[in-house]
Amino acid sequence: MTLFKQMALVVSFIIVLVLATVMIINYNNAKKDMIQSLYQTTVNNIATLTDKLAQTDGEEAEIQSVVDAAFDSGYYKMILFQSDTINYKQIDDSLPEGVPEWFIKFTNIKLKPISADVTSGWSIIGKVSVIGDSGVVYKGLYKIFQQLFYLFIVSVSGSLILINIILHFVLKPLKKVQEQAEAILKNEFIIQKELPFTTEFKDVVNGMNAMVLKVEDIFNKGNEAIQKNRELLYKDPVTKLFNRRYLMLKLLDLIQQNNSISGGSSLFVSLNSIEELTKHLGHQKTNDFLLQFAQELNNVTKKFQEKLIARVNATDFTLILPECDSDVANDIAKKINKKWEELSKNNNINQEYSFINIGIYRYKPTDTIASLMTNTDNALAKAIAKENGNTYFFEAKDNKSAMGKEEWRELLEDAIKHNRFHLIFRKTINFQSKQIQHKVLSFTMQDKNKKEYLYGDFIAPAINLNMVSEIYISILQDLFTNPHKDTKESLISINLSSEFIKDPNAFEQLSMLLQKYHKTIPFQLCFEISDTFTIKNLALVKNFTKLFSKYNFQFGLNSFTGESQDFHYLKELHPIFLKSDTSYLLDQSDNLMNALQVVTDSLGIVIIASFVKEKEELQKLEEKHITTIQGPIVDQLL
């Protein structure tokens, strides 16, 4: 219960108690006064009645007449005349008109009879006893009760409204304190600028502001340290491009990522001699020339968001362009040649002595790093050997036995219709405690003949056929509606592919699915998105994270390679984990790793090493304070 509700409840109780006490006292006083007034009236009336009875000289008929007349006057509830020979009584047992029975029982007025002797001369002719008419008291008290009740309701309502307004005003700063505290729990950095006037609240806000500033300062220093160390470790100091070290870490992820044309193009651009440039321009101008050339490489490939350009040695540049087909790759090579000619002309460089060669290889997702590098290098060698021209393009022939587009469409549609996808859950664990942190969903597909297709086999055709969203929605619906033993009391993480996120219909379809099933999902849910894709499509990914947050689902980033120039995007997205290839994490220097962990710790993010294969890697990861892993080795540890 909130402080506001507690205070409102206590104050309201006190107000109600005080007002109720006042009302009860007023009611009881009124009751006492009215009964006393009735008693005095009855005493006065009985004196008059005895005088009239005394004048009857004991005649029974006259006595009855006097008693009846007095009773009909309405002042009495009961009149009893008793003598040696006469016993005459008049009594009214009817309930007072206009007064509810429950009020009569509640009030319960009991009047004692008042008696007096009736004398004629010196002789007593009888005794009369009367009880005043309590109906008058009941009616009067009921009217007073109604007035007091209405006054009580109005007073209580007015008081509660006033107290509510006052408490809202007094505790308004506390609401912001609460919001700031909740933000801190979510690792959000919010500074409250409006300080409350209440001293205690002001001290709390100042303390929380100081804590937030301190944590944010830690984050900023860690962010700066990462950038500096990353520049030293993975950037070429002359061209500001990535170096060979980063290329080899990132290459496999770029080759295997899902894209709409099943692969991409790699280009090796080789300068024949750096010495000739230096001889003509000098060392500093040569560096400036190479920097300009690197900028031109970025310019001619700017439409490729997932690209990677690296200077692998003094004379060679590598361009990895996912989703780049052969025609576009050849066109880029022409533009690179043209830019080189322009730069050479502007710097008065003789192209007979200083020139470039370009080898192009059209790779597929099935390529390995070795095959890509070998084939591109062979293309470059043939470009160098050509007598006419300086560019050579190579593309491996397609497998003629592979299925055609319509065959894949039929197979995928059948799998979706008959739910022929098999869900697989791979564990992510803390290798020290052996506790399962979450399970990552993967899936395979079967055709009607039970032939199994791995994810990598069918996802590229699915992308070409624009069926990725249909597959994912089908998988999620199966996960949400059908019981799976691996999901019991678990956090299930689902890796959403870049193609799914980019599909304009995916957001609406996923939103409808989550809205329909979010209350009945019997396990915790988390979604993963590629870090590289997130950096390039931050606004799009933020829309999805808001959707996840709406239903209290969690979010994480995978394929993390520290590509961003600034890690403030992590503050905006609030992922619960960063998954990174083990080879990348182990390649980090101690300074860079420490800086990264400062950033993640300040945001409450867990670093997870993926693709862990060997036990020897565990000790190295532990030395870098990484204890959460996933990969082939997990099953050996459990």
CB within 8 Å of 139: residues ≥ 6 apart: 96, 97, 98, 99
Structure tokens at 83: 């003598």
Tell me which range, 178-192, 267-281, 619-633, is most confidently predicted by mean pLDDT. Answer: 619-633
Residue 75 buriedness (CB in 10 A; 0-12 / 13-18 / 19+) = buried
Confidence band, pLDDT 50/70/90 cuts, at residue 3: low
The per-residue pLDDT for 259 is 47
Which has the higher per-residue pLDDT, 441 or 12?
A: 441
pLDDT tens track for 223-242: 777 777 777 778 898 999 99
pLDDT tens track for 426-483: 999 999 999 999 999 999 999 888 899 988 778 878 888 889 999 999 999 999 998 8
CA distances (Å), 598 to each of 221, 228, 605, 608, in order?
9, 14, 10, 15
Name the helix (H) or strand (E) containing 637: helix 634-637
* Least trusted range by pLDDT, from 38-42, 317-321, 372-376: 38-42
Confidence band, pLDDT 50/70/90 cuts, at residue 627: very high
pTM, entire model? 0.68
The per-residue pLDDT for 551 is 92
Confidence band, pLDDT 50/70/90 cuts, at residue 189: low
Q: What percent of the chain has pLDDT over 70?
A: 95
**Do the Cβ atoms of 324 and 267 come closer than 8 Å?**
no
Q: What percent of the chain has pLDDT over 90?
A: 31
Residue 256 has pLDDT above 50, yes or no: yes
Name the helix (H) or strand (E) containing 469: helix 468-481
Q: Which domains are delineated in the chain? A: 3-157 (3.30.450), 243-395 (3.30.70.270), 405-637 (3.20.20.450)
Q: Which amino acid is at 168?
A: H
Confidence band, pLDDT 50/70/90 cuts, at residue 260: very low
For tokens 């040695």, the residue is 313
Read out DSSP for 157-196? HHHHHHHHHHHHHHHHHHHHHHHHHHHHHTT------S--
Which has the higher per-residue pLDDT, 206 or 579?
A: 579
Which has the higher per-residue pLDDT, 212 or 426?
A: 426
Q: Phi/psi class of residue 356: alpha, beta or left (left: φ > 0; alpha: ψ in -120 to 50)?
A: beta
Residue 591 buriedness (CB in 10 A; 0-12 / 13-18 / 19+) = middle
